[in-house]
Structure 1
Amino acid sequence: MSFTDYIKKMLTGQSRSSDSAELSASQTTSSKTEKSGPTILAIDTASTSLSTAVLINGEVKGELYEDMERGQAEHLMSFISQSLEAAGIEFDAVDGIAVTVGPGAFTGMRIGLSTARALGLARKIPVVGVSSLEAVAYGVSERDQQGRNILVALDSKRNEIFAQAFDGRKRPLSAPECVAPRQALMIAPPGDTLLAGDATPRLLTAAAHAPDAFYDTTAPGLPRAGNVARIAASRWDSGENLAPVPMYLRAPDAKRIEDQGPKKDK
């Protein structure tokens, strides 16, 4: 069953008995083929872009990416459908869904997470979270890295940035933080450090008089769904993926009415 047909059935509330039969047939067919690792649908909407991809036997297929500050909710389903079609599989063949949990834009995080949860619930398959910061670090090439540490900096659209340090094997060296650019530089361990992420220009400016050397990379400044899928697959059996809940590092811009103004005396 195509992804579009599957969504139509979800929306119309049709019985899943036929779905179960189709899934059973699909599994019988796929069992004849050697499978190496899970088939993962990956989604990223946590920043100012939209990206989807499918990982099959360790190979990324059907990856789509587009800068998109608004309109992610309207385009996400179409992107998923196109990625599945380009990968040459139907939605029934997906073993799990990986989604970025932030840090990033509040609305974007909610779009990706709510969609991933709904699809996972409908199919009864796992939904796992991946940090946006780690997904960017994963995109740094070995040619750029050469064993050096990485400092990922993502734009929060405010004075602060989201930052986290990683070692030469892309393992976290610090917790994700929301800090000023100069404070972010202090997160990096001593020595030469590569900068990655869309807030890199702000860090390079702040690093002009830093005692250590900081270098730009050719890595994409925002997460790519293909890397999100690879990270999720590497932790699939160990269960070390993050829970599919938003990673908030700062308070939301919009406050509830009862949170505004002075507190009333009881």
Structure 2
Amino acid sequence: MLLAFDTATPAITAAVHDGTAVRAESTQVDARRHGELLLPTVDEVLREAGVKLDAVTGIVVGVGPGPYTGLRVGLVTAAAFGDALGVPVYGVCTLDGIAYAAGQADDLDGPFVVATDARRKEVYWARYGDPRTRITDPAVDRPADIADEVAGLPAVGAGAALYPEVFTGVRPQAPVHQSAAALAALASERLARGEEFLPALPLYLRRPDAQVPAGYKLVMPK
């Protein structure tokens, strides 16, 4: 019984998967309320699935890449659940979940690209050979700098939709944000094949927006 969630994108999404199918899923899009909405969303999917928290045998969490503040909410929560329940925590690249969902919603069966909004006029992105197979490491770049690499490829995700002049193959029928249902289904497949997972550690790919001001003086009590 897997409990999956992801807060690496503006979507706060959670799902319960019983190893065969998704039992419940809930997704809200709000880039500023990850901390406020995640636990109620988890409660909602557990209740809808008719599952008590202590019946969960594994936690699946999106590890990004994603902005610092939102991403850490999901990872800290996953670590807390895993520790409290004594169950493993399986890390999955957020872009992999979007790619898998795109394969379910579209007829993508060849190379394509997934891109999410990284802010600062950049995108988090990776290339895929098919919905289950990532062929490049996740990266963060300005869209113009990767135009040659993504030219002509089908593209999915909110980042691709923001820059259609670069991601010219945007698939409007594909999902824009993460789906915990897809994340859980992908993890279930990987578990069945005995594949390894990423550690439940954040893929930030760059320093957080919040920085200590230059010339900051530490004042110690006398």
Q: Is the pair's TM-score, using the shorter chain for normalization, greater than 0.5?
A: yes
Q: Select the structure of larger CA radius of gyration.
A: 1
- Indicate if the aligned counterparts of 2:67 and 2:208 stay in contact, CA closer than 8 A: no
Seen in structure 2, the aligned counterparts of structure 1 residues 170 and 203 have a Cα distance that, compared at 3 Å, is farther
Q: Which residue of 1 aligns with 2:78?
A: 116
Seen in structure 2, the aligned counterparts of structure 1 residues 66 and 180 have a Cα distance that, compared at 3 Å, is same
- 1:24-35 equivalences in 2 (<5 Å): none
Matched position secondary structure for 2:112: strand
Q: Deviations over 1:189-248 (max 9, x none)?
A: x8x52110001234421256xxxxx24241211111111111222222524111000001
Give distance in 1, aligned partners of 2:35 and 2:174.
26
Matched position secondary structure for 1:247: coil
**AA partner of residue 125 (structure 1):** V
Q: Which of 14, 18, 23 is the equivalent residue of 1:61?
A: 23
Bigger helix fraction? 1
Residue identity (%): 31
- 1:95-244 equivalences in 2 (<5 Å): 95-141=57-103, 144-188=106-150, 193-207=153-167, 214-236=169-191, 238-244=194-200
Q: Is 2:28 the partner of 1:72?
A: no
- Indicate if the aligned counterparts of 1:145 and 1:194 stay in contact, CA closer than 8 A: no
Q: Which deviates further from its counterpart, 141-150 or 240-249?
A: 141-150
Q: Which deviates further from its counterpart, 146-155 or 233-242?
A: 233-242
Matched position secondary structure for 2:134: coil
Q: Which residue of 2 aligns with 1:28?
A: none
Q: Which residue of 1 aligns with 2:219?
A: none
Seen in structure 2, the aligned counterparts of structure 1 residues 234 and 107 have a Cα distance that, compared at 3 Å, is same
Matched position secondary structure for 2:173: coil
Pairwise CA RMSD of aligned residues? 2.0
Seen in structure 2, the aligned counterparts of structure 1 residues 203 and 167 have a Cα distance that, compared at 3 Å, is farther
**CA shift for structure 1 position 165:** 0.3
- Indicate if the aligned counterparts of 1:178 and 1:249 stay in contact, CA closer than 8 A: yes
Relative contact order: is structure 1 or structure 2 higher (C-alpha 8 Å, sep ≥ 6)? 2
- Indicate if the aligned counterparts of 2:102 and 2:131 stay in contact, CA closer than 8 A: no
Matched position secondary structure for 2:106: helix
**CA shift for structure 1 position 57:** 3.0
**AA partner of residue 231 (structure 1):** L
- Indicate if the aligned counterparts of 2:3 and 2:56 stay in contact, CA closer than 8 A: yes
Seen in structure 2, the aligned counterparts of structure 1 residues 42 and 261 have a Cα distance that, compared at 3 Å, is same
Bigger strand fraction? 2
Give distance in 2, aligned partners of 1:142 and 1:79.
23
Q: Which residue of 2 aligns with 1:245?
A: 201
How many residue pairs match? The answer is: 215
- Indicate if the aligned counterparts of 1:155 and 1:162 stay in contact, CA closer than 8 A: yes
